Structure formats: structure tokens, C-alpha cells
Amino acid sequence: MGRNGTVMLNLGGLIEVEKYRYVYLMFFLVLFVLILCSNCIIICLIWIHRNLHEPMYIFIAALSLNTLLFSTVIYPKLLVDVLSHQQRISYSACLVQLFFFYSLGASDIMLLLAMSYDRYVSICRPLQYASTMSTTTVSVFLALSWFVPACLLSVTVVIQSQQKICSLTLGGFFCNATIGTICCLFPAYLAVWILISLLIIAVFPVLFIFFTYFKIFMVAYRSHGEVQKKVVDTCLPHLLVLMATVCLMAVDVILGLLESVLPKNVQLVLTIQTVVYNPLFNPIIYGVKMKEIRKHISRLFCCNHVEITNN
């Protein structure tokens, strides 16, 4: 208990903090700075350049914005914990962190769903693209990508907040699925609700994404080289991000189910992956693989190099 009666949870995910304090600090600080800089560059380039004001790039900018919010929820608190003698968080703050972690993670999947539909219309029904992917359609996709996960996770958090706590120690270094292990009893109706939510914001969207890309690749297979080049240039980055997201979803599920069985060092490695790979590698993938974004990044750094040389 805190001084004002607040329930405080211990975060036991970091190993030997006293010994490796500054290693943790430098590692997470460098990661946080890289994540902020890389995603801000992607957002700013898409915002500034008119030729990037297309649905596909707008969804990429939204994905980067999601990443910034996601990282801001995790990393500042993590850096404070590394510098503290005790790694603790209030139960209410833990629930807030849990909400944003899963809500923003689910929003990523919904945005990838919107991207796959955008690519499907662009490649399989090009004559209908302008009318189908209108400004209104894009706005609706964006709104649903944030609204639906937020609503489902709000219910989950409210139900979770009403559960009786029998343990004050979490196995991770932030609040994720392992929060269920501190409850005296995990009710069946909460498990059913979580399963329904997973189907709506994860399983069904991922299946639909794979279906749309299957249709896209079938069209590309039957088409000439220009269509095949378009598929590789614009669909490959989305598929790489999708595969990384699905793998990290699986890792998080494993952590939630096997937290009490896994060795602590294995838990740490797996947990670090859930907060590093997508936030850091998504902008790199889009910056390297998306031709138009890569072109603007090259111009940005080339211009800066020329200015420095001239000075």
C-alpha cells in the first residue's frame, strides 16, 4: 500500500537492476530516442510533401503516430524505474498502461487491415480506387482503428479493476497480460470477453489481411511486370510489419500464459521484444522499402550533408 492507501505493485521484470542500472538506462534511452526520431521523420515527411498525401501514406503516418504514443506510455516510466531503487507502479496507473499498450497494439492491426484493403483496391480494382478510397473512407478507417480497440479495452480494464488482488508482484517491467496472475481468481466471463475482443481486433483482421494479400498476389501472378513491381514495392513492407506484429502478439500470449513457468531471463528477453521490434523497425522498413518515402529521406539527409559541407 502507498501512503494514501493506493495499491502499489512491484515490477519484477528487470534482472539485477542495481548491478546493471546504467546498462539498462543507456539501452532503453538510446532505443527511446531512436524510436522518437525515426517515427517523427516519417510523420513529418508525409505531412510536408503533397505527393505523400495519399491513403497508403496517411495510414503509415497513423501507424507511426501510434508508435510514438505506445513508446511514450512505456519508456519514460521504464527509465524512471531503472533509476529508482524500487520498481513500482500503482494499480490504477498499471491499468492505464495496460489499456494503452493493448489498445494501441490493436490499432496497429486495424491500420494494417486498412492498408491491405487500400492495396487490394489499388491493384485489383484500380478503376474504382479514387471513388472507393475517398477522404471520407480514409477518415472512417482511421476513426474505427482507434475507436473499436479503445472501446473493447475500456470494458476489459473496467472488469479487471473490479477483481480482488492476491499478489503485489508482476513478472514484467510494465503492465501487460501478466496482470491476470496477480488476481485471486480469474473469472470465466473476463476470459470470454478477452477471447471475443481478440477475435474482433486481432484474429479476424489478420485473417482478412492474409486473404486480401492472397488476392493481390494472384492478380500479380497473372499480370505483367509493372503490376508485379507495384506489389513488391508497396505490399512487401506491409507484410513484413504484419508478420512482426503477429509474432509479437504470439510472444505476448506466451508471456501471459507461461509467466510462472518461464525463467526470469527468458521473460526479460521476450518482454523487451514486445516494446522494441515494431516501434523501432516499422519506420526503418517503411523508410527503406517505400520508394517515395526513401526518396524524401535521401533528399533530407543529402541536403543536410550539403549544407554542413558548405559551412
The tens digit of pLDDT for each residue in 31-54 reads 999 999 989 988 998 898 888 888
Quick one: which H or E segment has residue 11?
strand 8-11
CA distance 81 to 158: 26
Which whole number is the average pLDDT over 251-280?
80
Q: 10 pairs with which residues across the strands?
A: 88, 169
* pLDDT tens sequence across 52-93: 888 988 999 999 999 999 999 999 999 998 888 888 888 899
CATH number for 8-310: choose from 3.40.50.300, 1.20.1070.10, 2.60.200.20, 3.30.70.260. Answer: 1.20.1070.10
pLDDT bracket for residue 311 (50, 70, 90): very low
What residues have CB less than 8 Å from 41, skipping those under 6 apart?
A: 283, 287, 297, 300
CA distance 156 to 200: 14
Other Cβ atoms within 10 Å of 87 Cβ, number: 20
Write the DSSP symbol of residue 3.
Answer: T
Q: Are 156 and 192 in contact (CB under 8 A)?
A: no
The reported pLDDT for the residue numbered 2 is 46
Instruction: With H, G, I as helix, E, B as strand and everything else as coil, classify residue 87.
Output: coil
Q: Residue 117 above 90 pLDDT?
A: yes
- Sequence-distant (≥ 6) Cβ neighbours of residue 282 within 8 angstroms: 39, 63, 64, 67, 241, 244
CB of 163 closer than 8 Å to CB of 94? no
User: What is the distance between the alpha carbons of residues 91 and 157, in angstroms, rounded to a whole number?
Assistant: 11
Band (304; pLDDT cuts 50, 70, 90): low
